Structure 1
């Protein structure tokens, strides 16, 4: 267990600041997902709170679906577990030609999604495709993880919300980018259940420090919505699933005291 205390917190903060400063000094590279954003009107904070509620529900659904698909794939006979990977590869190849934005990842993808003028329907379709792609890729063991794909899902969902808002309300087109940035933090907060980490993470990734209040509102409402819906942190659920498959019973309340060698059988 991580020893939560003043010294450890200060050590983590100092190490994070120094690593960021040294990296930027050596590489002269700023935020990896730098997005130019402008100030958004205060009255639009209500819209961002609504976006947080939507992302809270999406995050809980993502966590539940990921565990469910993993359990489903676990039932496939060991000799046939190459079939899902084969199907995912074929579908990804088709999408790469028909709709490239539904595949791949990285900072270029986020920038392309924001810069291109996609409509609401197209963005919702991209959200659905990327949502399903993460579930089946991760469950089948195909490399890709869940963190970076979560950012792409959030970008698509946030842009869809932003485009709809710009179409029906007196908002500048830059509000789309603001929603995309806020959605990254909100979806992370809903799935991982770490709203403050989501705020800091998004600020560091995008450099959108002007949006710290909108992002904070979105992350808070997303985390509260996920809590009210009974959602639990995704990494905690993955750990419990790993222990369940290993035949162990996870502790509900982790022991904070150190366990000395020889006091517990392995």
Structure 2
């Protein structure tokens, strides 16, 4: 037993070392990705500003923008899973429902992402950063000849590292992976994902500095007697979040009816629409980072509402075109706008102190994210890290939870899970694979809890190898009772991972 413990400890330390390498590599790559997007967007903005003095330049800029999305679209045509945010792909890979080679995705996502996001379309860098990190995790795993189980841990570590490098949020990045993508609070995944995310954040901090990505100054505590605003705001965000989910999942049908253009050229449509937006409103384009930081200076409610309508409409048009780019940052920008709209309206009515509007801008980012993505813990921690303040977690939590509940009551579903469900994945029902492992948590209220192992209708060729219960590891037999809080290590056929995952999820 002592020899086995020593071997397990050695294996865990080796995996942790590999996770740190993933974090370093993801930090360098995603940091470069982030820098190139910023430089590319700044170049386009300067070009459009110069076009005001030289209108003929506008035609050249429009042609350049179209060329950029055509190249990005062609890369997606070559490798369809390089399009979109990439988060649904990572989720399906971790569930065993999708097998992807890392290199063809990696370089196409990097180049296509810089071209499409940097052009000024309302797309975010975070989804592509997550997928870039996950591919790097796969590459490191292959280089170290890691086992299948360790390879998945490194894939998840790379995803967390990518998000951490994109936003400077290691805790939020790790939380997002285990809450929304991996759907499993396995200590092994959580520890390595956090280690990689911290290392990635360290790397990008040396590139961009230690200033938080959304360094919004708000020094006034939100009064407890004003918490009724948080309830109304949460309800408002939950409703808008549901509308956005519906629009994003259904607007693709409009693109499908455009027979004149093949799918890979649909990016031409948002690129053409972007030209007048970039010309007249250059400060409102892109993912929305700069816009969020300027909202505390905008106090005209009607203008804020108009900007929001532009952002929500063109965000959907941009994303559903299939170009590489995410919705993460655009969601935060829309949330900030809604907070500004609500706050300034209440201030105009005399029901809220103007100095508290900035608080609502920050709370609303977390609220809309929690409603659309359905990850409230991630929303709270991510915004706290991005803003650089842990002083106002309670109102962040209130808005997030209320928005989440309202979205649930309206029939909302997690957006990334819905996008993953639309993908065509192949289920191989032939048992021809090697033995693999699947880790499953038993939650309170699960149909597995308080039942003996032999009384559960396990999927075919599924064996319960180990039960992690607190500090103890139990080798079960048929009479072992499963309890809420147990972490099961199952042995399964590698080609049935997705099927087993779905069957156990239903329990």
Equivalent residue for 2:493?
Answer: 260
Range with greater deviation from structure 2 (195-204 or 171-180): 171-180
Measure how far apart 1:81 and its partner are: 4.5
Report the structure, 1 or 2, having the larger helix content: 1
Match of 1:168 among 339, 349, 352: 349
- The question of 1:113 aligning with 2:346 is answered no
Structure whose CA Rg is larger? 2
Pick closer, same or farther for the CA change 1:74–1:19 going to 2, 3 Å. Answer: same
Counterpart pick for 1:151 among 308, 332, 336: 332
User: Does 1:63 find its partner at 2:245?
Assistant: yes
- Structure 1: which 5+ residue stretches go unaligned? 249-253
Structure possessing the higher relative contact order (Cα contacts under 8 Å, 6 or more residues apart): 1
Shift of 1:5: 2.9
Match of 1:204 in 2: 385
1:221 to 398, 402, 411: 402
Q: Do structure 1's residue 189 and structure 2's residue 370 form an aligned pair?
A: yes
Cα distance in 2 for residues equivalent to 1:261 and 1:88: 41
Q: Which residue of 2 aligns with 1:52?
A: 234
Structure 1 runs of 4+ with >6 Å offset: none
Partner of 2:287: helix, strand, or coil? coil
Unaligned runs of 5+ in 2: 1-94, 96-181, 428-437, 441-489, 499-507
Q: Please say if residues 186 and 222 of structure 1, whose CA atoms lie closer than 8 Å, have aligned partners that are also in contact.
A: yes
Task: Name the CA shift for 1:17/1:44 in 2 (closer, same or farther; >3 Å).
Answer: farther
1:93 and 2:326 matched: no
**Residue in 1 aligned with 2:320?**
139
- The normalised TM-score by structure 2 is 0.46
Give the Cα–Cα distance (whole angstroms) in 1 for the partners of residues 280 and 491 of structure 2: 55
CA contact (8 A) 1:37 1:210 kept: no
1:114-151: CA deviation from partner (whole Å, max 9, x where unpaired): 22x24111111111110011111111124432111111
Q: What's the counterpart of residue 40 of structure 1?
A: 222
TM-score of the two chains, using structure 1 as the length reference: 0.84
Pair 25,123 (structure 1): closer, same or farther in 2 beyond 3 Å: same
Q: Is residue 303 of structure 2 the alignment partner of residue 122 of structure 1? A: yes
SS in structure 1 at match of 2:320 = helix
How many angstroms apart in 2 are the aligned matches of 1:83 and 1:233?
Answer: 28
Work out the number of aligned pairs and report it: 259
Distance (whole Å) between structure 2 residues aligned to residue 221 and residue 262 of structure 1:
40
Find 1:9's aligned residue among 185, 190, 196.
190
Tell me, yes or no, if structure 1 residue 75 matches structure 2 residue 308. Answer: no
Higher relative strand content: 2
Q: Does structure 2 retain, via aligned residues, the 8 Å contact 1:137–1:143?
A: no
